């Protein structure tokens, strides 16, 4: 990914928080003839040190897992909010007219060798961790309505696990980019953030909020 210095996200803890909020990634592999991609719920497990592992699962019926060469490099793309930026929002446009449209966004790319798992214990652990993560986010106070993997009949869960394949990407590189008008004068940046916060699209409003949160000072 092309990441100019002014857009680079260098704080891995902040990147990890972004990945956890996003919750999913597009896994891209190559089958020898063309790329294949699947959107997966993921966890970035950094407990083993280094860049850690990206963990998830896909359907057994999805041919991607069986067509990727063993140990081949994969690319996992985590998307954040994105929005069109109009030059009409720049106060500096009135001064010199030198402005064109652009696109603001946040994105993280993970690369590394991919391993696919069929072991039931491995799959159960990942499915449980994903479930606990998102149920806790849905009901942070630990309400009784929170769903657990063990709430379903064991035979049913065992059958569901046989229908999926685990995904483990050993992360060798992390490229994180937050393109939020950092290359513009502060007045332009503030004006863009205000315009996006007032936009009807949720994604645009989210970008505007990120711009405010990352503003200098």
Angle, helix 202-213 to helix 186-197, in steps of 10 degrees: 140
pLDDT reported for residue 29:
96
The pLDDT of residue 94 is: 77
Q: What are phi and psi of 42, to 5 degrees?
A: -135, 160
55-104 pLDDT, tens digit per residue, is 999 999 999 999 998 888 999 999 999 999 999 999 997 788 788 999 99
Determine contact, residues 118/10, Cβ cutoff 8 Å: no
- Does residue 33 surpass a pLDDT of 70? yes
State whether the Cα torsion 11-13-16-17 is positive or negative. negative
Q: How far is CA 209 from CA 105, 195, 198, in A?
A: 12, 11, 10
Which of 21, 135, 168 is closest to 81 using CA atoms?
Answer: 21
Q: What is the pLDDT of residues 70-82, one digit of tens each?
A: 888 999 999 999 9
Confidence of residue 34 (pLDDT cuts 50, 70, 90): very high
Non-local CB neighbours of 39 within 8 Å, separated by 6+ positions: 24, 25, 26, 27
Which residues does 103 contact at the CB level (< 8 Å), separation at least 6?
82, 83, 84, 85, 179
Give the tens place of pLDDT for each residue, 204-215. 999 999 999 987
% of the chain residues with pLDDT over 90: 83
Sign of CA dihedral 189, 194, 197, 198: negative
Q: How many CB atoms lie within 10 A of CB 207?
A: 30
Domains of the chain with CATH codes? 5-85+99-184 (2.30.110.10)
Q: What is the pLDDT of residues 179-212, one digit of tens each?
A: 999 999 999 999 999 999 999 999 999 999 999 9
Task: Tell me the β-bridge partners of 165.
Answer: 58
Residue, of 183 and 140, whose pLDDT is higher = 183
């Amino acid at each position: 990914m092309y990441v100019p210095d002014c857009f680079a996200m260098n704080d891995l803890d902040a990147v990890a928080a972004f990945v956890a909020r996003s919750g999913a990634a597009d896994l891209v592999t190559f089958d020898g003839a063309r790329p294949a991609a699947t959107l997966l719920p993921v966890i970035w497990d950094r407990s083993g040190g280094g860049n850690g592992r990206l963990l998830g699962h896909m359907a057994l019926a999805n041919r991607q897992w069986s067509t990727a060469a063993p140990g081949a490099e994969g690319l996992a793309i985590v998307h954040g909010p994105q929005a069109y930026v109009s030059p009409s929002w720049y106060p500096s446009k009135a001064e010199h007219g030198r402005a064109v449209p652009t696109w603001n966004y946040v994105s993280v790319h993970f690369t590394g060798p991919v391993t696919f798992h069929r072991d039931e214990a491995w799959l159960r652990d990942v499915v449980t961790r994903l479930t606990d993560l998102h149920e806790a986010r849905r009901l942070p106070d630990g309400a009784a309505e929170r769903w657990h993997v063990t709430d379903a009949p064991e035979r049913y869960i065992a059958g569901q696990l046989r229908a999926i394949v685990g995904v483990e990407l050993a992360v060798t590189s992390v490229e994180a980019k937050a393109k939020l008008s950092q290359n513009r004068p502060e007045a332009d940046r503030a004006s863009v953030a205000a315009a996006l916060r007032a936009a009807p699209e949720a994604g645009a409003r989210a970008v505007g909020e990120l711009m405010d949160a990352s503003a200098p000072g």
